[in-house]
A = this chain, B = another copy of it.
């Protein structure tokens, strides 16, 4: 899908008005949040790969220009200009998988103002969904105590792209696998699956359904045991597993999808162990989120694998975050928006990570700590190879481990320390005064 028109109309009308008024100064836009959702102490940045591909391939097709022409809105010189247009700017970004906090730019795009503005909508759209799901998934990971997490969200994510991004973002944020086969093919994520209730129901008896499935997948099968009565389901699973053993295969697992999971998982574990099936895993699915995982594991539920679906794939308790893409510098001049009581800092910035806190500085300031923003494009040319998905995951795991434990609290609001450098504070005050003067002009 050609994505040049995947934007709000006003990005194009502004582009046209900028050009028409001879406005071609360099502008810097930064992507950040001013505030975290109530139930988030951190966000996990993701979606850069999509943005990089978008910028690299950005072209208006002939069809696109014909469509714009049909709107009878734009002058011909502008449509001609679009035909040759491509991304020529600089892009700085944090690495995908980085935990970040309010007022920290995760990305900065620098280009002539008519160009830098144009990409706003698409960059917001692409980073928003990936960040949203990675952030929710990290919360589940933070309470998973080494248990395996698998993405089962595909059926209720918001459309096809979200389904793909949910698999990718959960994998970055500590999940091990996905049920989404296309995500397996496209991203190389391990794919997993069991059976559905409809399969069990479609056979005359539960036992026949189990035997049928094991006939086809003797070495890979996980049996769904709660279609009728879970305890009887486990009994039958054990019976068929004994026969399976004769063929040299051990039953891989049983899945519980409903009922009192704490009690049922204990009972199931006991029954499996008593019959010698200590290797058979217990998989739990159905309404799983960080609260359910934490509750079950804190009470010692013997669950080996969680299938995590809708609540993570839609980030249902925070289905959006306040991601914004704001003008911070124009020409050489730092700028900011002051209205509506939402504070932001002017100027091109860098974020330095220290042990347990961050510092936001002017980009050109020197500081100790690890700088998080790095160049990806310079003058439209890629200067950085992006990491593989496994590398992103590794990086997330390292960075997430370093986060203070209290910030990972899933129940209570905790504030991570983000310092603003003295020079940036001074610039904020200065810019604020200038704007107050400007309002009277």
Chain A residues at the B interface, C-beta cutoff of 8 Å: 1, 3, 5-14, 16-18, 20-21, 23, 27, 29, 63-64, 67-68, 71, 73, 75, 113, 117, 120-121, 124-126, 128-129, 132, 152, 154-165, 179-182, 184-185, 191-199, 201-202, 204-207, 212-213, 215-217, 220, 226-229, 232, 257-259, 310, 314-316, 319-320, 323, 326-327, 330, 335, 337-340, 435, 438-439, 441
> Do A439 and B228 contact each other (CB < 8 Å), given the known contacts A17-B216, A128-B156, A182-B3?
yes
> Do A315 and B326 contact each other (CB < 8 Å), given the known contacts A71-B191, A132-B158, A162-B161?
no
Kindly list the 6 A-B residue pairs having the minimum CB-CB distance in the complex, ordered from nearest: A9-B193, A159-B161, A10-B193, A158-B158, A258-B340, A319-B319
What is the distance, in angstroms, from A426's C-beta to the closest C-beta of chain B?
20
Cα distance A125–B162 when bound, in Å? 10
Interface centre among A158, A232, A315 (most CB of B within 10 A): A158
Please tell me which one of the listed residues B13, B68, B335 contacts residue A195 in the complex, with CB atoms under 8 A apart: B13
Q: How many copies does the complex hold?
A: 2
**Is B120 a contact partner of A220 (Cβ separation < 8 A)?**
no
**Is A193 a contact partner of B8 (Cβ separation < 8 A)?**
yes
**Is A327 a contact partner of B124 (Cβ separation < 8 A)?**
no
Chain B residues contacting A13 (CB-CB under 8 Å) are: 193-195, 213, 216-217, 220
**Is A185 a contact partner of B64 (Cβ separation < 8 A)?**
yes
Least CB separation from A331: chain B residue? B202
Cα distance A261–B191 when bound, in Å? 50
Cα distance A338–B194 when bound, in Å? 20
Chain B residues contacting A257 (CB-CB under 8 Å) are: 340
Please tell me which one of the listed residues B75, B154, B216, B228 contacts residue A21 in the complex, with CB atoms under 8 A apart: B216
Provide a sorted-by-A list of 26 A–B residue pairs whose CB atoms are within 8 angstroms. A1-B160, A6-B163, A6-B180, A7-B181, A8-B152, A9-B179, A9-B180, A9-B193, A10-B196, A11-B196, A17-B216, A21-B215, A64-B185, A73-B220, A125-B156, A128-B155, A158-B162, A162-B162, A198-B326, A204-B438, A227-B339, A228-B338, A228-B339, A228-B435, A316-B319, A316-B320
> Do A125 and B160 contact each other (CB < 8 Å), given the known contacts A198-B327, A199-B117, A315-B319?
yes
Chain B residues contacting A18 (CB-CB under 8 Å) are: 199, 202
Cα distance A11–B180 when bound, in Å? 10
**Is A202 a contact partner of B161 (Cβ separation < 8 A)?**
no
Least CB separation from A25: chain B residue? B202
Please tell me which one of the listed residues B8, B124, B194 contacts residue A181 in the complex, with CB atoms under 8 A apart: B8
Chain B residues contacting A258 (CB-CB under 8 Å) are: 339-340
> Do A154 and B73 contact each other (CB < 8 Å), given the known contacts A159-B159, A229-B439, A439-B229?
no
**Is B20 a contact partner of A314 (Cβ separation < 8 A)?**
no
